[in-house]
Structure 1
Amino acid sequence: MTTFLRDERNRLDLTQADASKAIGVGKTTFLRWEAGYPIPSDKLIALSDIGFDINYVLKGIKSQPLSVDKDQSIALKTSHSDLIAVLQYDLSASAGGGALVVAEHPIARFELSKRWLEQHNLHNKKLTVVPVRGDSMEHTLHDGDLTLVSLIDDLSEAREGVCVLRFDDEIFVKRIQYDFKTKGYKVTSDNNAYSGFFVEAEDIESGRFSVLGRVERVLQRARKID
């Protein structure tokens, strides 16, 4: 694990001081981890939040793209019984101008700890990985971030928060707030340079607008966070 942790730090162009400061530990502690000392689970999650590929840190295995003609049941098999496979599809959530859903086949997979999913009440949810495109959700989400999304079947499951949305043929990741009086949604960006808008009840009823899922966590940061 020592070489893998160092490899990931070097890939992200971080010094030991940078990495340790970003996750709230001392440099000496980080040095010990790179020397082979075990890394606590909460700090593995913190490393993931700043862009470390934890699958690689722990096992030396990079998250690999899947061939689109592989059977999904095979894709869901994991290397260990304590892990659950979460598939990424060719669906891009745009934090800026929108992006089309171009395919339903899985293109990559991630193996997540069952224990971690249970701790965050995600073990019984239908999960997928969605990349962010654009800058309208900065500084919450950045272009290229990989987000863990829980898919929903009913709009009542997502009244507020950062969600993946569909409006006509465009997919967005935005912050939403349901208005019980008008039965519509206020949709906003975390980047003040972008204007918000309101989704009317008739757009929901006609099927033009829907909430596809809730962003639960950033699995991997696209770049170093200042």
Structure 2
Amino acid sequence: MSHFTDERNRLGYSQEFMAEQLAVNRKTISRWEKGTPIPSDKLEACHRLGFDLLYVVTGNRSNLEVVKQPTLDIDAAVDAAVYAVEEAILSVYQVKKLRKELGPEGGFDAIKSLSTIKKATQLLTRAELTGELDSSTIREVFELANEA
């Protein structure tokens, strides 16, 4: 398989799609994949389609590989963040309550505990977004709050 074929496959393009985009027939694409030199104007068009031309020509990858980003469900991410903040604050509160470190009216200074709340929120958000939220995560949050 040629480097041209590798790139075409990496990008998910068919021979037919490439032929259409480059204004050639499919047999021309097939010949290029078998080693026939590719004209420079066609290489330029391939570059516009996302081809790594350094790889096509030399077999060495450039440092500018196209990475497909996973899609993010914004509503789910916001819900996870809100959940994590609530749980982090409640966890720190419960630890302070057990340690009898609450104020005279049962409150605590969230600003003084902000670093711990932030770390707990990060743990919980990551676990919620990756689907790995379980009792060990909650235990880790309590341990974090207890260390503070």
Q: Same fold (TM over 0.5)?
A: no
Q: Which has the higher strand share?
A: 1
- The structure richer in helix per residue is 2
Q: Please report the TM-score for the alignment, with normalisation by the length of structure 2.
A: 0.41
Select the structure of larger CA radius of gyration.
2
